[in-house]
Structure 1
Amino acid sequence: MHSKSLKAKDSSLVSYYILCALRVALVLVPQVGYIHPDEFFQSVEVIAGDEYGLEVTRTWEFNRTFPIRSIVIPYVGLKIPLSMLRFVSMYTRHYLGVNLRGTYVTLVFPRLLMLALSFVNDWSLWRICKTYGLDGQFRMLTLASSYVMLVYATRTFTNSIEMALCSLLVYIVTECMIHSNTVIYQREFLEEKYRKAQKTVDRVRLYKLKMSLPSHSLNKCALMATICVFGVFNRPTFILFGFPFVFQWMLRGMGTKTVSFSDFNIRMFTFVASAIPALIFCIVVDSLYYGYLTPAEVERLEIGINNFVVTPLNFIRYNMNSDNTKQHGVHPYYLHLLVNIPILYNVLGVIAVTSFVTMIYRFGSAEYTSLPRAQSIVGLMVSAIFFPIATLSFINHQEPRFLLPITLPLILLHAPKLKNGLCSSYPFKERSLLKDFLYNHFLSTRASSRYLLRVWYTTNIALTLFYGFVHQGGVYQLAEHMGRQIEVRSATTHIHLVTSHIYSMPQCFLNLPSTQTLLVNPENGQKYRRDRQFFLYEYGSLDLGQLYKKLKLILDISEMKAISSNQKYLLYLAIPSSLSEELNNVFHNRTSALVKHTQVKVFYPHLSIEAMPKLLGQHLCGINTDADELEDTCPIYAHDDEQNPFSVSRVLKEFSSLIHQFGLILYRIEVRKKIE
């Protein structure tokens, strides 16, 4: 049995290393999936614009009049590495002809930094398991096999940084807890022996032993306080995720003879004092970046309260107003608990919620002996999972990624249940057919090995593929293609790109110099700004009829400029291929407008939730360009057997149509020279 256990552990460890290698490979491939605009527009888009002087989109969160995003973490974590990369790129381009500022590097390099940060979660989990003597290998395997680590953790989300900082905080607090418990136990043991000792020699020896015990009350205080400050400036919701750990750290040993309420107060005041240096640093950096504080004012010591900005405070003020959060979407209060947790952690999330409900039931039934102690690691992990979920549920805008910091506590607490089952023994007091069925098929170890592990791995594979490569996967490919088009086109040619039913396209991938930067002509000293070459129009999920009117307006204006000032232009439209048939109909019904659309390229795979593929009804011909040419280009109209819904030809074409709808089509929009 012992050898089998060792083999199982070795197998888990090998599988973990394979999954770590997969995490690295998925970053380098690269993943073209696009989870949410925040992964670019709260980090890469802003910093790349600042460092490389590119034409980018600065979102309202970085508005200098009321900034709610701190620049400290992006500056230290991304701007400094990008500066080093730019320096190295000068030499690689000169000596090797290798450009390190291309679209691929702009996408992958920040993700490599996040990849390195993601292993903080792994390291913290391993250290906690080793400290407490827990089964670390299966927990590590569970963590590494989660799509949260394979996809979310390697993206440039502030939530991913929050997860890593929270995991590090978990490790520090749990280590302090076990250290304090050990020291307190030894101190109380020696004090008891000291009181009972009769001989002076024994009392002196015991007193020296007691005084030689290491201090524990303020252990790691400065480190914790610094992590918390940077966590809050990265994302103020860190207050909710970090509170259970900080409170537990202050509560260590309460109720014993050697730790009193005064120790709690001392820890609290010391923690606050230790946070001041990091707090001042973050406020000063933000104030300098957003222009509230200038080096000249510092030099003249003309500094007042209005020279400082506290971005977390602005963030909280903004989100406390429900009218503001409504603009980003209103969700029901139960969404985090019943939907977002299962989306992130599938069966493991369901197990966590079920276990928490069971604990509440036992508390209501006065079964207190079955509940974890408040100062135990189990009690800490339960509060670390459900306290932030409960508080975040009061905010009417909820997204799954907001819950990423609970990943380590959830896996630490519940991962073994994937292989051992929810119950190690029969949990019911009385037997019945229904209870036997529940135990044998859902709760026992046999049921777990049969269902839970399979569901866990299958779901995570599917979600890795979906969010890593399919969801909005054409946006990056579109940006890469447009970047190449801009490079080969003349600088005097204006390129207009209209997008609909897709996420915002990060312009940093186009590598366009900023038109806002003031330049100086070295020959005559005249100041000027670059002319704008690329124009992006993003219309969200606009009705296609209205979209056609927008296209017609842009086309008319461009034609007028082409006639009056000989200004060359190119107009493109990017739209999910699932809407191509409807788009063809719109253009076909407006032939008098003399506008045509020609397919340039289709980017696969791509799926927009805003434009889901149609399972039936749209044929492969729908992705062709001109609706009035369908009968000539599509053989589907030439076969009578197509009327039979069960014919092989019909089924194959319906399947082909479905597959082709998972794409993003780029159309060239231009004036029709003649009516055909």
Structure 2
Amino acid sequence: MENLWLKMIWLHCAALRYMLCILPQTGYIFPDEFFQSPEIMAGDILDIASFKTWEWNDSQPARTIIFPLISSGIPYLVLKYLAGIFGHQNVITPYTMLIAPRLWMTTLSFIVDALIYRLAVKCYNGNAVIANVAVNLFATSYVCFAYCTRTFSNSVDLIFLAILLNLVAEPIGREHNVKNLLDMNIKGYFIASIIFTGFYIRPSSMPFAAFPLIMWVAQNVSLSNNKAVFKSIIDTFLRVFSLYPAALVCSVTFAVCDGLYFDQNAVMQFPWDNLNIENLIIWFKSLPNTSLNNLKYNLNSSMPEQHGVHPFYTHSLVNMQLLFGPLTVLMLKSIYSTITGTDGNKRLLYLLIGTLLSAVFILSLVPHQEPRFILSVTLPIVILCAPYFHPLKERKALVSVWLLFNMVGFAFFGVIHQGGVLPAVEYIHSVAKAHQETAGNNGVQFVFYKTYMPPYHLTAWPSHSFNHEMFPKENSEIVLNILDLAGSSPQLLKTYLRSINTRVLRTYLVVPNSLPCSLTNQLHEEFKMQIAYQYFPHFSSENLPFSPERCKNVHDSTGSSPLSLVLEKMSLNIYSVESKSPILPDSDMAVKSFGNSHIKSESIVQYTVTHPKINTSKL
């Protein structure tokens, strides 16, 4: 009876997974969701406004094109096909651009459900009830709802780890007969394919594959006698040797595919006329090696300073609790029980424990640590903790704590965190469309400040009439301009707004309502600012909404409670901005630094002549 209930719960969770994807989720967890996949494919396939970060530089690319092609390219190709039938404007919208890749990733996430069940059954000696509990722990987790349904490469890592652990879990006989040798080579090929595919997509996936690979290579090792030792050496050698063909195939495949995307000339220089090993090696080295470039960048000593340095214990003491809550305590209890107890398949449980601990330990050695980096340990954790939720009727308190934790986690990461950015981009589409229809070719500009970088492709705006440079181009076709000032200085923001003729170029400022009062008051004093759009909830960890200050012209003075002020500040505002003075300052101001570029607050004419092509991609 409990097994039937568990299956019904999973079916409801599966439907909820799709429903929460379709709503859609407004939470913006991290820019990599967009700028490592859909932003790239939207521009290449649909010719939509997009922006390629430094990782997609043709000279030193640090990301393989395979991942965005699989995660976003397939759904966008479907949209392109449908657009040809039903019309571009009817199919290519901000909503469909957001939902299509997420629906595809949601569908792929069910691979993890199936493989968790398959592995858990083996771990607990055929106990289907505990296996279904493990599946439901995954299906009810906010990690599943908020992370696995999005285009993070970490979500694909989780799928690869699930496949890898299931392959390693299948034992192969000790006898070196034809059947066992064939099974060993086939399995070795698939294991190596999964590992190297994961490596080329995301080099940091290797810590998750290290322990399972060692367990598989040393699966039949025995030191009982000399004959056994010799046989173990032969077996280990054969297993290692079985990995090489897939490693070679994956390396060439990814190099050629990346070469076709980043540098077609290198691929076309294949030495057909003088085919030998030496020339083949020279040709292969000329192809882009995205994984190597990625490793070089991440091993650079200056990298942590740019992305943030975290203590070595961040993964173990902070991120684990942030992702899994009460399961982290149960995980420790499960490890102790596995070591001291007799229940379950010891070899497979040790496989899960070793994978979990080794991955967290290795990734803790890296200075920059984000919760999503250890997303793949979800699989071993839910299987190890499943017995503590059985039977469900006797674990009501634990189940309640687990569900409450995940509801809070989903509300924060799936809805609230930077929650106004995506609705703001959709609003931008509607404004730009209305502006194009009513104002002809006059452009409109949106300046984002103190928010995550807006995904340009979600504007669903044609690339030929879109601009993301610091100073709008003199091009009659340009209708929509978006500038991301990120976390730059307040002085730069004011200097830039002063430099724009807002009477010619309609300008909007997108900022969180939690900006310091000193800045918001200065902006209102210097410019005519009216709220055109406001979205709640929006939480910015960079600008916490807990300041007791009430800014004039921004916060309602009638709200007396601290809670009402906090809630009021948890919104994203879009202001229409207009200069109060028609004449800009003539005097040159001090040069203001922004990344590697510098600007001066000069007249519009001087800007147009002197800086016609300042590109924010270099900033």
Normalised by the length of structure 2, the TM-score is 0.82
1:42 to 10, 32, 36: 36
Instruction: Provide closer, same or farther for how the CA distance between residues 99 and 298 of structure 1 changes in structure 2, counting only shifts above 3 A.
Output: farther
**Alignment match of 1:271 (pick from 243, 251, 265):** 243
Aligned to 1:599: 531
Distance 1:65 1:106 in 2: 29
Q: 1:211 to 1:108 in 2, by over 3 A?
A: closer
CA contact (8 A) 1:56 1:508 kept: yes
Conservation of the 8 A alpha-carbon contact between 1:333 and 1:394: yes
Contact 2:97–2:460 under 8 Å retained in 1:
no
Contact 1:514 1:530 (8 Å CA) reproduced: no
Is the contact between residue 326 and residue 396 of structure 1 (CA under 8 Å) also seen in structure 2?
A: no
Residue in 2 that maps onto 1:507:
456
> Corresponding residue for 1:203?
none
Which letter does structure 2 place at the counterpart of 1:64? D
**Residue of structure 1 equivalent to 2:603:** none
Task: Please point out which of 200, 211, 216 is paired with 1:244.
Answer: 211
Query: C-alpha deviations, 1:377-412, integer Å up to 9, x for none?
Result: 111111110111111111100000000111111111
Alignment partner of 1:15 out of 6, 9, 22: 9
Q: Per the alignment, in what secondary structure is the counterpart of residue 415 of structure 1?
A: helix
Q: Tell me if structure 1 keeps the 8 A contact 2:39–2:456.
A: yes
Partner of 1:485: 431
Q: Is residue 266–residue 287 contact of structure 2 (8 Å, CA) maintained in 1?
A: no
Say if 1:54 and 1:512, in contact at 8 Å, map to a contact too: yes
Identity of aligned residues (%): 28
**Structure 1 pair 301/228, CA: closer, same or farther in 2 (3 Å)?**
farther
Q: Which residue of 1 aligns with 2:139?
A: 144
The reply to whether residue 587 of structure 1 matches residue 582 of structure 2 is no
The structural deviation recorded for 1:101 is: 1.0
What amino acid sits opposite 1:323 in the alignment?
S
How many correspondences in the alignment? 557
Alignment match, 1:173: 168
Cα offset, 1:603, TM superposition? 1.3
- Secondary structure of 2:444's counterpart equals strand
Deviation at 1:532, TM superposition (A): 3.5
Q: Distance in 2 between matches of 1:41 and 1:211?
A: 48
Counterpart for residue 483 of structure 2? 537
Q: Which amino acid aligns with 2:367?
A: N
Residue in structure 1 matched with residue 113 of structure 2 by the alignment: 122
Q: Are 2:301 and 1:334 aligned?
A: no
Q: Which residue of 2 aligns with 1:321?
A: 300
Quick one: which amino acid aligns to residue 606 of structure 1? H
Q: Which amino acid aligns with 1:623?
A: V
Partner of 2:126: 133
Map 1:288-437; keep pairs closer than 5 Å: 288-291=260-263, 293-294=265-266, 296-298=268-270, 304-353=283-332, 376-419=347-390
Of residues 68-77 and 278-287 in structure 1, the stretch that sits farther from structure 2 once superposed is: 68-77
| 1:663 match | 571
The structure-2 alpha-carbon separation of the partners of 1:493 and 1:165, relative to structure 1 and needing over 3 Å to count, comes to: same
Amino acid corresponding to residue 658 of structure 1 in structure 2: V
Contact 1:515 1:530 in 2 (8 A): no
**How big is the shift at 1:371?**
9.7
> How far did 1:150 drift?
0.8
With the length of structure 1 as denominator, give the TM-score of the two structures: 0.76
Q: Aligned residue for 2:410?
A: 464
Structure 1 residues 375 and 141, CA, compared in 2 at 3 Å: closer, same or farther?
Answer: closer
Provide the secondary structure at the position in 1 that maps to 2:307.
coil
SS at the partner of 1:609? coil
Structure 2 distance, partners of 1:136, 1:305, is 45
* Residue 400 (structure 2) aligns with: 454
In the other structure, the counterpart of 1:110 is 101
370-379 vs 47-56, greater mean Cα deviation: 370-379
Cα offsets for 1:92-122 (capped at 9, x unmatched): 228xxx7221110100000011011111110
The aligned counterpart of 1:92 is 86
**Secondary structure of the corresponding residue to residue 255 of structure 2:** helix
Q: CA deviation at 1:418?
A: 4.2
Structure 1 residues 261-287: Cα deviation after superposition (integer angstroms, max 9, x where no partner): 111111101112232222211111011
Whether the aligned pair in 2 keeps the contact of 1:576 and 1:662 (CA below 8 Å) is: yes
Match of 2:156 among 145, 161, 171: 161
1:514 alignment partner AA: S
Are the equivalent residues in 2 in contact too, given 1:336–1:398 (CA < 8 A)? yes
Larger radius of gyration: 1
**Letter in structure 2 aligned against 1:569:** L
Q: Of residues 514, 527, 533 in structure 2, which corresponds to 1:578?
A: 514
The Cα offsets for residues 153-209 of structure 1, whole Å up to 9 and x where unpaired, read as 0010011111111111111211x23xx3xx45xx79xxxxxxxxxxxxxxxxxxxxx
Partner letter of residue 279 of structure 1? S
The 1:584/1:602 distance shift into structure 2, 3 A limit, reads same
Aligned mates of 1:319, 1:21 — CA distance in 2: 39
Note if contact 1:576-1:608 (Cα within 8 Å) is conserved in structure 2. yes
Partner amino acid, structure 2, of 1:343 = L
| CA distance 1:281–1:213, change in 2 (3 Å) | closer
| 2:511 counterpart SS class | strand
Q: 2:560 corresponds to which residue?
A: 650
DSSP-derived class of the 1:277 partner: helix
Indicate the RMSD between aligned Cα atoms, in angstroms: 3.2
**Distance in 2 between residues matched to 1:516 and 1:296, nearest whole Å:** 34
Q: Of 23, 27, 36, which residue of structure 2 is paired with 1:29?
A: 23
Is the contact between residue 539 and residue 571 of structure 2 (CA under 8 Å) also seen in structure 1? Answer: yes
Q: Is the 8 A contact 2:71 2:151 kept in 1?
A: no
The whole-number CA distance in structure 2 between the counterparts of 1:538 and 1:236 is: 29
Match of 1:99, SS state, is helix
- Write the deviation string for residues 527-584 of structure 1: whole angstroms up to 9, x where unpaired: x99844333222223454553333223x3xx25xx6xxxxx31111111122375444
Q: Is the Cα contact below 8 Å between 2:220 and 2:235 reproduced in 1?
A: no
Deviation per CA, 1:600-639, whole angstroms, max 9, x where unpaired? 11012211111121264438x7536xxxxxxxxx674xxx
Cα–Cα, structure 1 residues 479 and 299, in superposed 2: closer, same or farther, change >3 Å?
Answer: farther
Q: Per-residue CA shift, 1:354-380, capped at 9, x if unaligned?
A: 655x59xx9xxxxx8669999811111
Q: Is the 8 A contact 2:27 2:418 kept in 1?
A: yes
- Hey, what's the Cα distance between the residues in 1 that align with 2:441 and 2:342? 72
Q: Indicate the residue corresponding to 2:469 in structure 1.
A: none
> Residue deviations 1:289-316, cap 9 Å, x none?
1116456534976973553121111111
Equivalent residue of 2:159, what SS?
helix
**Contact 2:133/2:389 (<8 A) preserved:** no
Residues in 2 aligned to 1:281 and 1:83: alpha-carbon distance in whole angstroms: 22
For 1:79, the equivalent position in structure 2 comes to: 73
Provide the residue aligned with 1:440 in structure 2: none
Shift of 1:498: 1.5
Give the partner amino acid of 1:574: V
**1:655 to 1:136, Cα distance in 2 relative to 1, 3 A:** same
Q: Deviations over 1:459-513 (max 9, x none)?
A: 1011111111111111111111111111122352222221122100011012233
Correspondence 1:211-250 to 2 at 5 A: 216-250=183-217
Contact 1:580 1:623 in 2 (8 A): no
Paired residue type of 2:463: S
